[in-house]
Amino acid sequence: MTTQTALPEGPILTADGIPLKDSLQKSLRQNKLRAMFLVSTPLLFLVFLFIIPIGNMLTRSVDDTFINRVLPSTIEAFESWDKVSEPPESLYSAFVNDVKAADKVDIGKVSTRMNYAKPGWKSLVKRTARKIKKLKGPEYKDDLIKIDKRWADKEFWLSLGIMKDKATFGYFLNAVDKTYDFDKNIIDVEEERKVYNTLWYRTLLVSFIVTIACLILSYPVAYLLATLPMRISNLLMICVLMPFWTSLLVRIVAWMIMLQQNGVVNDTLVASGILSDENRLAMMYNFNGTIIVMTQILLPFMILPLYSVMKTIPPTYMKAAQNLGATPTLAFIRVYMPQTIPGIGAGCILVFIVAIGYYITPELVGGKDGRLIGNMVAYHMQKSLNWGLAAAMGSILLAAILLLYWLYDRIIGIDNMKMG
């Protein structure tokens, strides 16, 4: 009792005599440390196995140190050449010495890299490397030209100018159908070698069409689910969730069976007389196939956010609007729809993000004109082994997705992401 009356001027103390403020701060600090300790394991796990590997891969899109490591004196000799006169002997001997000193595998890799700058390098280096061991110096220029006439071609040597720096922007340029000329000016690649711009355009187009298609198909269904009595809507919800839970490959197989030339859909249409036998629709292994299958696969990603928003809108609003004289259509457009915009935004961004990076579905059902940028990344990763280009395309894709992710977080907040 005495302490209570004696203390008004001094700080409030806890039972053990420490000021309450300090004690609270200590406990807060402890909580904070505890939370940080808890999160440290999963965070480190994620950083080491996910963030760093991806970051590492992305650096490959600009990394060009390899050629400097394998052919150091060639690059040096190139720097001291005036680029106007004929290539000097020093350049040839530097190259021969570098090749002699280097590992055979490295030479192969370096020639692949040089081939990106000027087509022809790979065969030239490969052809020369086999005979280079036998050459006796000190003069190499004539010997090399004797092995292959192309060594006299100044163009090849000039192309080293694109590769001499330790970092290059070339892969990014390649990814949008541009390239460097020998003076490092940015130019368009030849018309017949342009492939990527079409692919980027197609990827955006497919994602856009799929998003819109999902929205148009989902909106009425989500509305129905949100307004029906719980018992029935729960049953219908199974239809929505079922495909969500079915293996992706199972669904793709199913679509293949339904949509192929002799598939269920075409057979039914022919049997019912809507289509003649020779006019069967081409719905698989092309652009249409990609669109149809992706729409079906991504539909739940649109229905669920829309449904969860519509669920929170009281039905009385519509009734009130109609009571005030609005027609049902007007009430729906002016009162109901604006309230569903968060759901529309969430669904659209989600579907678009997922669609833009698709790989498996277009690979299996897309045929030639249904392939997307993801397929090109896989192609360069596994087949052509042009990892720099794969990384550059991946970086552009990832940048676009992170931008949308950030937008999503801004508009909806990732905390509000729900599952099922």
Q: For the segment 306-365, give every residue that binds other proteins (CB under 8 A).
A: 328, 353, 356-360, 364
- Residue 53 as a binder of other proteins (CB under 8 A): the answer is yes
Neighbouring C-alpha atoms within 13 Å toward the C-beta of 65 = 3
Looking at 71-79, 91-99, 181-189, 226-234, which segment touches other proteins (CB under 8 A)? 226-234
Burial 353-365, CB ≥16 within 10 A → b, else e: bbbbbbeebbbbb
Q: Rounded to an integer, what distance in angstroms lies between the CA atom of residue 313 and that of residue 336? A: 8
Which residue from 25, 31, 123, 323 is in contact with other proteins, where contact means CB under 8 A? 31
Which residue from 35, 330, 341, 407 is in contact with other proteins, where contact means CB under 8 A? 35
Token pair listed for 284: 């698989």
- Residue 215 as a binder of other proteins (CB under 8 A): the answer is no
Which C-beta is closer to other proteins: that of 168 or that of 203?
203
Which residue from 145, 224, 270, 281 is in contact with other proteins, where contact means CB under 8 A? 224
* Residues present in the chain in total: 420
Burial of 286 per CB tally in 10 Å (0-12, 13-18, 19+)? middle
Which C-beta is closer to other proteins: that of 81 or that of 387?
387
Asked if 143 and 135 count as a contact pair (C-beta separation under 8 A), the reply is yes
Q: Nearest Cα to 299, choosing from 363, 255, 338?
A: 255
Which C-beta is closer to other proteins: that of 336 or that of 387?
387
Token pair listed for 212: 């819109």
Ranges within 86-125 binding other proteins (CB under 8 A):
none
Asked if 302 and 354 count as a contact pair (C-beta separation under 8 A), the reply is no
Number of CB atoms found within 10 A of residue 394's CB: 24
Token pair listed for 270: 């022919």
- Residue 24 as a binder of other proteins (CB under 8 A): the answer is no
Pairing mode, strands 186-188 and 178-180: antiparallel
Q: Residue 9 forms beta bridges with which residues? A: none
Which C-beta is closer to other proteins: that of 118 or that of 202?
202
Ranges within 245-274 binding other proteins (CB under 8 A):
245-258, 262-264, 267
- Residue 385 as a binder of other proteins (CB under 8 A): the answer is no
Which C-beta is closer to other proteins: that of 137 or that of 220?
220
Looking at 16-24, 33-41, 81-89, 165-173, which segment touches other proteins (CB under 8 A)? 33-41
CB of 199 to other proteins, least distance (A): 14
- Residue 32 as a binder of other proteins (CB under 8 A): the answer is yes
Which C-beta is closer to other proteins: that of 1 or that of 414?
414
- Residue 57 as a binder of other proteins (CB under 8 A): the answer is yes
Which C-beta is closer to other proteins: that of 264 or that of 411?
264
Number of H helices, E strands in the chain: 23, 2
Which C-beta is closer to other proteins: that of 59 or that of 123?
59
- Residue 381 as a binder of other proteins (CB under 8 A): the answer is yes
How many residues interact with other proteins (rule CB under 8 A)? 91
CB of 13 to other proteins, least distance (A): 21
Alpha helices in 273-366 (DSSP H): 287-311, 316-323, 328-331, 337-356, 360-365
Spatial neighbors of 197 by CB under 8 A, at least 6 apart, are: 176, 177
